[in-house]
Amino acid sequence: MRSFALALAISAAGLSATSAAETAKPAQKGAFPAALPEEPIPAIAALPDAWPASWVLIHDFHFNSILDGRVMLVDTSSAERPVRGMVRAAQFANMLVSPRRGEVLTAETFYSRLTQGERTDVVTIWDDTTLLPKGEIVLPGGKRQQSVTYPQLFQFTNGEKWALIANFTPAQSVSVIDLDARKVISEIDLPGCAQIYPTGERGFSSFCADGSLFSVKLGPDGQAISSKVVAKVHDIDNQPMFGTPAWQGRTAWFVTYRGRIQGFDFSGDVGKPLPGAFDLGSAEGAAPEWRPGGWQVIAGDAAGKLYVLMSPNGREGSHKDGGSEVWVADPVKKTRLARIALRAQAVAIGVTRETRPQLIVARADGEIDVHDAASGAFVRSLGTAGGANPILVTVP
């Protein structure tokens, strides 16, 4: 053993001497570069105070790990570096963005033992320049509605000073949250009605199971001071509407499962349907017929045009299957203007507010495509910049 240890020591000494000698030699061509400087941890790059018009938020529901949902901040103009940041959106989360407040908000749910234990519902407030959390509002009672993400479960009202959040226990209600005071200030019962559409200065509307529209006006303290039911505003049996509309100002444009477009005016204290609903029509190549399909199926641009995700395989129950074309419509002239062929089946669409707007397409395979909204031409692919399961495209 002594001889082995001695030989090992001699070998090590020789190696050390050789290493020292090699170190003393001048650097030669092909040698390893000098060590890089230490990188500070954490290293955080700030985003601009005003995000460019090409940036969108894409909600990744992350079906394989719903506990780990996220919202991706994506620069749709960059194929090389589209992802600019990310915020967590855990457990059936909903998201709001407010450039006015400089915040992104996520309504999310946690359990003390990850998938079981004590439940905590919160609204997390993220700074929109660092994407770091700067506060949270705990929601009491474990009531927050958990479902695959619908934008109309979490909405602003009162000039973005308050947020409205849908509850389901399975009784339905809406909590009113003061974002500045960071607390819940009221809860409004909502029997038989669902979804939240901001209405008037302070209030909201919901569609109900009997085809009516229920509008609630809120007082300065967040309590309900009046309500009104508008009967038979939509035909649930024959023309059921997708719950997520395209907003243009205070007008919300809805499309039905059969391709009829109906506008609603939510500018006053009571929501009301606009006259002149119209059909998108059909086209050749259907098997059996063209119908809207997907999760986020309608979007609008600043010029007032509407974009609807369409499938030629429309049938009873196909409304979540996605679409292979986007049809462009003019709600003033009540006519279809164009058809845009997509490169693959898509589940969600959005349109940027750029001078030359871009159509953002979230495909069923997780890829994000960008098309020129005016011509319909394919512009670029952003790969999987929207995460594993991009399901909503939000334009700030």
Average pLDDT, stretch 319-333? 97
Q: How confident is the model at residue 344 (pLDDT cuts 50, 70, 90)?
A: very high
Closest listed residue to residue 90, CA positions, set 71, 77, 73: 71
What are the extents of the domains in the chain? 53-394
Determine the residue type at 376: G
Alpha carbon 206 to chain centroid distance? 20
d(CA 163, CA 291): 34
Q: Give tens-digit pLDDT for 89-120.
A: 999 999 999 999 999 999 999 999 998 999 99
Q: What is the mean pLDDT of residues 337-355?
A: 98
Q: How far apart are CA 365 and CA 150, in angstroms?
A: 20
- In this prediction, residue 29 carries a pLDDT of 60
25 pLDDT higher than 90: no
Cα distance between residue 158 and residue 115, in whole Å: 35
CA distance 221 to 178: 9
- Residue 68: both structure tokens together: 């780990």
pLDDT at res. 11: 39
Q: Which H or E element spans position 3?
A: helix 2-24
Distance CA 326, CA 20 (A): 68
Neighbours of 165 (CB within 10 A): 26
Q: Which one is the CATH code of 53-394: 2.40.100.10, 2.70.98.10, 3.40.50.10490, 2.130.10.10?
A: 2.130.10.10
* Angle, vertex CA 181, rays to CA 168 and CA 269, nearest 5: 60
The enclosing H or E element of 176 equals: strand 172-178
Is 12's pLDDT higher than 70?
A: no
pLDDT digits (tens, 9 = 90+) for 242-254: 999 999 999 999 9
pLDDT in tens, 47-77: 999 999 999 999 999 999 999 999 999 999 9
CB 240 within 8 A of CB 256: yes
Q: What percent of the chain has pLDDT over 90?
A: 88
**Could you count the other beta carbons within 10 Å of the beta carbon of residue 374?**
15
Asked whether the beta carbons of 264 and 250 are under 8 A apart, the reply is: no
Least confident of 12-16, 135-139, 334-338: 12-16
Strand order in the sheet with 390-394: 83-88, 70-75, 55-60, 390-394
- Contact residues for 108 (Cβ-Cβ < 8 A; gap 6+): 69, 88, 89, 90, 91, 92, 93, 94, 121, 122, 123, 124
pLDDT of 293: 98
* Average pLDDT across the chain, whole number: 92
